[in-house]
RNA sequence: GGGCGUAUAGCUCAGUGGUAGAGCACUGUGUUGACAUCGCAGGGGCCGGGAGUUCAACUCUCUCUACGCCCA
């Protein structure tokens, strides 16, 4: 008998690094399987500036589980990986580094700056990809992608030009979300609205000479949270049905400060219930006002714009902003008053401010300039400053048209969203989708393929030469300086990574559409929905048939993790502490559909313990000369324990397959966990220990070594998707132990396929031994008998199972139930404890050890419980409605349960009778 | 304002139309070589409140309450 070659202590760090580089070097992530069925997942490309956070850990663990599972099942599994150039984020990182060196972007030409970003990417862009490796992700690194790769560039250009030619991309002047810090437009999705404490000011706008309201007042009261924009007011709106103002609709007010004469218009936007019912209209700096302005007949080009790209006041086209305001920031910044404060001050001095009267706690009235109010304020998600609605020319995608087909596909089930609860959210957004602003005023990104002549005519083409051809010879062209929204290029990820738009791309032919997309719900609109649109537009089909959305990983207290809160859990720290396998298993076990995951380090620790348990089980096997198996099919077995474990392997395998088919990661991981620990370690290994007490080469020991080795191997395979490192290590340790008869890696092994016929007699026998053992242990515990005590037992009348099992498995019964010898026959008179197993009642004489009163109490407790069950079932069965209307199976089950409990009651009563 | 989700053991969470499970925590205990990162045994829940459908509801429907998220 050889000893275990495994170290006593399981050290994850050592084996993780070793196996990952081995897999990568030997091509384990993408074995050659030209004839196999494809299985394809594309990884949501992390920002090239990113580092692995806990959300990545969840997202990528789930994907790796799926891809490893499908690889083991023999598919041509491809997991596409790469990074996103992340326009704004990356440009910000490089600019910040320049700032640290007292340098800035504008010290360089565009080309020089872009080169610096590339330099940064080559130097520091690999952080996250190395961290994904530490997590064990089996991606195809040999084809690592980047959204600014030359072939990606071609895909982006072609998509833009095609969409433009089809009228689905257009240039428009309208209000955009302008980030005055980053000085670029952003899309609606990149705006975070937050409730902020602010003020609500009330002003008098004087009516034009002589005009009065019906109550005689010669002014209209308007209220606003943004007084500074009154410098660009172009109207006052009242509700069409508001009688207070009916007489002045069509008349004018003369604005204080600018003296501009603006009309009073009727528009449903004005809410009669809010404030005075009249609102100032600034079409150039408010989305609602923009629409009111359009309805009032003001063209976008004529709308007044009083702010520059920094959101500092500039002169408007009618020249009416007084000089003293020019150059002020829109509002107070860094302690310096802005246009807002200046406007309020001027209006107050001029008597146009209507003070807000508040009552103190003592009931005294106090005057304030403004009413305190909570304001939903838009912030840029990257820049973090308040967004300014700003009138500019930008490029837009007609998202409404592109959304039509994906909506249909989700409705028809052509695309399945898991869990389905997200469908409503998806439809809600897609059915109300707004034009997508895709141009960004940045330097880093895909430059828009549009050229302008000196008259502002635009020519869209995939290169300058074609644009020139369109424009004609001799026309001077200037390329649009803007770049595209990062999400425009990542929307092409499922096919651009596979070779589109080049011709003859076997990889693309085979792996598009992909098989599944896994993403967090937070990028459902940013990315998933746009891939659907672009997949349909470019490829004529959905990019994948199934979309799995998982939740967020939250801090232990349920709050969102954020750097500012300081509650961020670093996945790499958890890997260092517990191992990647434990972290991965945690993610899988906690991933139930439709729920966020709360961080729980104790649980990660528990899965590290699970890995240790498996490690030690393998050490035990090796010490008994149990080695690697060489067959896929279950070995032939005669021993009941061996047949039983084969049957259990088969059923856990089916359980995992069913769970994986439904993407129930929790169910799959729990199944293999329970099987490994509770079935294999706790029972099977204990049951087979006695087999190895005899001669090493007796037939029972030989059979058991083969079966145990096989079962352990099946555990490695089934657990591998969840815990790739330890399983690969143990797989090879087992192979080494049996003299290297198996040279291939677990990562490309085959999924179990037991196909065994298991006799019911064998499984019944083991279930009976387990029942007996559990009952003996429990009785001893309650009676205070030392667990190690070996006791003689009598079985007055033995069932068939009892007789045969006692004959064949007396060693296991001695070891586990600690009953020896067991005599079939009447027990001698005297104090004894009664223990059942199935329908058998064992009598264990305990002269001098046992307190009869205690044993009686124990049996009575059990009797009461059994009687209660029996009575409840009897009640149900005596209910005619139940017997007639319930499903026949339910009635049958109730009858069987009743019979079982009645018999139990009988046995217990008999046992009690013996004691009195 | 609109939409969605969640409320089950002390904690974190599964769950099925036939009266409940896991992990951790807790209590007691430790059977001479796989494992104390362990073993064995045990306690603990009128499954958020109310109403309805049903022979039967934690499970389906409605409603209320609380919490969370998204959109406006």
ipTM of the complex: 0.96
Task: Work out the average pLDDT over A68-91.
Answer: 93
Q: Where are the beta strands (DSSP E) in A387-482?
A: 388-397, 416-418, 436-437, 439-440, 450-452, 458-460, 478-479
- Residue A874 approaches strand B within 7 Å at CB: no
**A592 token code pair:** 């139930």
Q: What is the pLDDT of residue A499?
A: 93
Nearest-angstrom CA–CA distance, A864 and A861: 5
A617 burial level (CB within 10 Å; 0-12, 13-18, 19+): buried
Nearest-nucleotide field for A684 (CA, C1')? B34
Q: Compute the mean pLDDT over every residue in chain A, rounded to the nearest whole number.
A: 91
Among the listed residues A639, A907, A912, the one whose alpha carbon sits nearest the alpha carbon of residue A769:
A639
**How open is the CA angle A903-A908-A913, to the nearest 5 degrees?**
125
**pLDDT tens track for A135-192:** 999 999 999 999 999 999 999 999 999 999 999 999 999 899 999 999 999 988 989 9
Rounded distance in angstroms from the CA atom of residue A882 to the C1' atom of nucleotide B57? 15
Q: What is the pLDDT of residue A804?
A: 93
**A657 token code pair:** 């397959």
Three-class SS of A663-713 = CCHHHHHHHHHHHHHHHHHHHHHHHHHHHHHCCCCCHHHHHHHHHHHHHHH
Selected residue with higher pLDDT from A465 and A4 = A465
Q: What is the pLDDT of residue A536?
A: 96
**pLDDT tens track for A428-453:** 899 989 899 999 999 999 999 999 99
**How open is the CA angle A874-A875-A878, to the nearest 5 degrees?**
85
Q: What is the pLDDT of residue A806?
A: 92
Task: Work out the average pLDDT over A477-505.
Answer: 94
A730 pLDDT higher than 80: yes
Among the listed residues A63, A135, A54, A61, the one whose alpha carbon sits nearest the alpha carbon of residue A597:
A54
Confidence at A2, pLDDT banded by 50, 70, 90: very low
Q: Is A118 helix (H, G, I), strand (E, B) or coil?
A: helix
Nearest-nucleotide field for A885 (CA, C1')? B55
Nearest-angstrom CA–CA distance, A308 and A382: 20
* DSSP H stretches of helix in A497-625: 506-511, 529-534, 571-578, 580-590, 601-623
Nearest-angstrom CA–CA distance, A137 and A130: 10
Task: Work out the average pLDDT over A225-251.
Answer: 90
DSSP per residue, A732-795: HHHHHHTTS---S-GGGS----------HHHHHHHHHHHHHHHHHHHHHHHHT--TT--EEEEE
Q: What is the pLDDT of residue A382?
A: 85
A1 pLDDT higher than 70: no
Q: What is the pLDDT of residue A729?
A: 95
List chain B nucleotides near protein: any atom < 7 Å from a Cβ.
2-6, 12-15, 18-19, 22-25, 28-35, 37-42, 54-56, 69-72
Residues 709-748 of A with CB under 7 A from strand B: none
Task: Work out the average pLDDT over A207-217.
Answer: 84
A651 burial level (CB within 10 Å; 0-12, 13-18, 19+): middle
**pLDDT tens track for A518-547:** 999 999 999 999 999 999 999 999 999 999
Question: Which residues lie closer than 8 Å to A910 by C-beta, 6 or more apart?
Answer: A841
**A161 token code pair:** 């030009």
A80 pLDDT higher than 50: yes
Pairing of strands A819-824, A791-795: parallel
- Residue A818 approaches strand B within 7 Å at CB: yes
Task: Work out the average pLDDT over A604-619.
Answer: 95
Nearest-nucleotide field for A612 (CA, C1')? B37
DSSP assignment letter at A871 = H
**What are phi and psi for residue A354, nearest 5 degrees?**
-95, 115
Rounded distance in angstroms from the CA atom of residue A667 to the C1' atom of nucleotide B18? 24
Helix axes A571-578, A580-590, angle to 10 degrees: 120
A750 neighbors A720 (Cβ within 8 angstroms): no
Residues 494-533 of A with CB under 7 A from strand B: none
Confidence at A743, pLDDT banded by 50, 70, 90: confident
**A34 token code pair:** 């030209």
Distances in Å between the alpha carbon of A223 and those of A200, A250, A287, A353, A370? Answer: 7, 20, 17, 10, 10
**pLDDT tens track for A628-662:** 998 889 999 999 999 999 999 999 999 999 999 99
Domains belonging to chain A, first-starting first, are: 36-166+400-435+485-550 (3.40.50.620), 189-380 (3.90.740.10), 576-758 (1.10.730.10), 851-916 (1.10.287.380)
**What are phi and psi for residue A76, nearest 5 degrees?**
-80, 80
Q: What is the pLDDT of residue A3?
A: 45
């Amino acid at each position: 008998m050889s000893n275990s070659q495994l170290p006593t202590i399981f050290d994850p760090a050592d084996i993780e690094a070793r196996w990952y580089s081995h897999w990568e070097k030997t091509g384990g992530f993408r074995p050659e399987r030209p004839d196999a069925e494809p299985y394809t997942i594309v990884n949501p490309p992390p920002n090239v500036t990113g580092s692995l956070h806990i959300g990545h850990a969840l997202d990528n663990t789930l994907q790796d589980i799926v891809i490893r599972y499908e690889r083991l099942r023999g598919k041509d599994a491809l997991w596409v990986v790469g990074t996103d150039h992340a326009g704004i984020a990356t440009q910000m990182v490089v600019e910040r580094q320049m700032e640290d060196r007292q340098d800035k972007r504008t010290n360089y030409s565009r080309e020089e700056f872009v080169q610096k970003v590339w330099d940064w990417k080559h130097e520091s862009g690999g952080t996250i990809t190395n961290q994904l490796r530490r997590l064990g992700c089996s991606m195809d690194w040999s084809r690592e992608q980047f959204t600014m790769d030359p072939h990606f560039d071609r895909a982006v250009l072609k998509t833009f030009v095609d969409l433009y030619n089809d009228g689905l991309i257009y240039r428009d002047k309208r209000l955009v979300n302008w980030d005055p810090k980053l000085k670029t437009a952003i899309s609606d999705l990149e705006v975070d609205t937050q409730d902020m404490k602010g003020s609500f000011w009330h002003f008098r706008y004087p009516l034009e000479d002589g005009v009065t309201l019906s109550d005689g007042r010669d002014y209209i009261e308007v209220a606003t949270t943004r007084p500074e924009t009154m410098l660009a007011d172009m109207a006052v709106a009242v509700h069409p049905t508001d009688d207070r103002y009916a007489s002045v609709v069509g008349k004018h007010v003369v604005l204080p400060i600018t003296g501009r004469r603006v009309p009073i218009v009727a528009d449903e936007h004005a809410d009669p219930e809010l404030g005075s019912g009249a609102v100032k209209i600034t079409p150039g700096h408010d989305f609602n006002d923009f629409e009111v302005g359009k309805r009032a007949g003001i063209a976008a080009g004529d709308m007044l714009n009083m702010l520059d790209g920094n959101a500092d006041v500039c002169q408007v086209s009618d020249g009416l902003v007084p000089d003293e305001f020019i150059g002020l920031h829109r509002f107070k910044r860094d302690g310096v008053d802005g246009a807002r404060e200046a406007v309020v001050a001027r209006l107050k001095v001029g008597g146009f401010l209507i003070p807000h009267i508040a009552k103190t706690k003592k009931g005294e009235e106090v005057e304030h300039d403004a009413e305190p109010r909570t304001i939903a304020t838009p912030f840029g998600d990257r820049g973090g400053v308040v967004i300014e609605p700003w009138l500019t020319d930008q490029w837009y995608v007609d998202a409404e048209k592109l959304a039509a087909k994906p909506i249909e596909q989700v409705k028809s089930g052509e695309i399945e969203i898991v869990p389905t609860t997200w469908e409503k959210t998806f439809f809600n957004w897609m059915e109300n989708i707004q034009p997508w602003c895709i141009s960004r005023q940045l330097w880093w990104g895909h430059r828009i393929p549009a050229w302008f002549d000196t008259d502002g005519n635009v020519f869209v083409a995939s290169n300058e030469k074609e644009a020139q051809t369109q424009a004609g010879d001799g026309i001077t062209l200037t390329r649009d300086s803007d770049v595209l929204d990062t999400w425009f290029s990542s929307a092409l990820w499922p096919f651009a990574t596979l070779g589109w738009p080049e011709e003859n791309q076997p990889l693309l032919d085979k792996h598009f559409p992909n098989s599944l997309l896994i993403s967090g719900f937070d990028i459902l609109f940013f990315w998933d929905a746009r891939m659907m649109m672009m997949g349909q537009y470019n490829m004529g089909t959905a990019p994948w048939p199934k979309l799995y959305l998982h939740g967020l990983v939250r801090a232990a207290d349920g709050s969102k993790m954020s750097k500012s809160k300081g509650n961020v859990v670093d996945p790499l720290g958890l890997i260092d502490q517990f191992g990647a396998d434990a972290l991965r298993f945690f993610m899988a076990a906690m991933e139930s559909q439709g729920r966020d995951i709360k961080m729980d380090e104790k649980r990660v620790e528990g899965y590290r313990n699970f890995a240790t348990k498996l490690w030690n089980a393998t050490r035990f096997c090796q010490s008994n000369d149990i080695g690697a198996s060489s067959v896929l099919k279950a070995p032939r077995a005669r021993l009941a324990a061996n047949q039983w474990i084969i049957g259990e392997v088969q059923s856990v395998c089916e359980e995992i397959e069913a769970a994986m088919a439904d993407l129930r990661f929790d169910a799959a991981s729990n199944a293999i966990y329970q099987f490994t620990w509770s079935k294999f370690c706790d029972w099977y290994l204990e049951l087979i220990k006695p087999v190895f007490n005899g001669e090493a080469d007796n037939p029972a020991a030989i059979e058991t070594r083969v079966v145990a080795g096989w079962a352990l191997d099946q555990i490695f395979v089934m657990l591998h998707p969840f815990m790739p490192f330890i399983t690969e290590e143990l797989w090879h340790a087992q192979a080494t132990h049996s003299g290297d008869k198996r040279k291939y890696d677990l990562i490309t092994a085959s999924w179990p396929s037991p196909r065994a016929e298991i006799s019911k007699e064998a499984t019944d026998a083991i279930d009976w031994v387990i029942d007996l053992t559990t009952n003996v242990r429990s009785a001893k515990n309650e009676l205070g008998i030392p667990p190690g005590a070996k006791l003689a037992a009598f079985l007055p009348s033995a069932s068939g199972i009892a007789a045969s099992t006692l004959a064949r498995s007396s060693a296991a019964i001695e070891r586990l139930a600690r009953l020896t010898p067991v005599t079939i026959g009447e027990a001698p008179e005297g104090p004894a404890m009664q223990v059942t197993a199935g329908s058998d009642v064992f009598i264990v004489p305990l002269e001098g050890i046992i307190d009869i009163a205690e044993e009686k109490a124990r049996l009575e407790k059990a009797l009461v419980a059994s009687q209660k069950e029996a009575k409840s079932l009897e009640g149900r069965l005596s209910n005619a409605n139940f017997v007639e209307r319930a499903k026949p199976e339910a009635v049958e089950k109730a009858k069987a349960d009743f019979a079982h409990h009645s018999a139990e009651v009988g046995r217990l009563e008999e046992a009690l009778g013996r004691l009195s």
